[in-house]
Amino acid sequence: MRVRVKCCGITRVEDALAASRLGADAVGLIFTRRSPRYVDPRQAAAIRMALPPFVTAVALFMDDDVAWVAQVLNAVKPDLLQFHGAEPAAFCEIFARPYLKAVPMATVGDLGAYAAAHPRAAGFLLDAHAAGEAGGSGCTFDWTRVPRDFPRPLVLAGGLTPDNVGDAVRATRPWGVDVSSGVESAPGVKDEAKLRRFLDEVRRAESGLFDADGRG
């Protein structure tokens, strides 16, 4: 199966278009103000409207309040939400939209129990959350902790770059991968050459995962 790619922390229309053209399945728009990749809802709406068909717009929040999430949803109309903080399922479900729940791998030991606490999540995004950083830290975690054959979609994140994403895909066989700082020239500004190499490496790695019958 194809490994899906999300490019997170998009703040410019041209970067969203480049990511889409190069084959990204999703772009992430960050609405938590503590991120250097924060994008205001008006700019995000312009990015969202510029996306070609079948490219998913993901709105990322981290322990933000209900009113702010609702305001962003109204303005941007994203396809998918990503809750990157300590939001319980009851909070994530208020908005009645499909959502990804981030898992802080630095502190979560039992992924099964964590997932069970979010029965309606569309999938789980495994991030390092290293050294107190909540996201976009550029830090990896121990990929041997990613279970094979987990019954729900797992998106690998945290410190992925064009240089390590091939090994990451071969080691974990994830549903998808997510990259933010690893394909930038500055926070919130994507580097097209890095993005191209990242997507090429994902495709190269995934092609080696399947046998002649297309089975993984």
Ligand X SMILES: O=C(O)c1ccccc1N[C@@H]1O[C@H](COP(=O)(O)O)[C@@H](O)[C@H]1O
Catalytic site residues?
Answer: 8, 127
| Shortest distance, position 81 Cβ to ligand X, whole Å | 12
Residues 6+ apart with CB under 8 A from 113: none
104 in contact with ligand X (CB under 6 A): no
Tell me the residue type at 198: F
Number of residues counted as binding ligand X (CB under 6 A)? 26
105 in contact with ligand X (CB under 6 A): no
Given 4, 84, 173, 190, the residue binding ligand X (CB under 6 A): 84
Output the CA–CA distances (angstroms, integers) from residue 93 to 112, 169, 183, in the order listed: 19, 30, 31
Given 5, 26, 111, 160, the residue binding ligand X (CB under 6 A): 160
Of the CA atoms within 13 Å of residue 211, those in its CB half-sphere come to 3
Which tokens in the block code for residue 67?
A: 């009113």
Q: Which residues on neighbouring strands pair with residue 207, listed in sequence order? A: none
98 in contact with ligand X (CB under 6 A): no
List of residues contacting ligand X (CB under 6 A): 8-9, 28, 30, 32, 35-37, 60, 62, 84, 127, 134-138, 157-160, 178-182
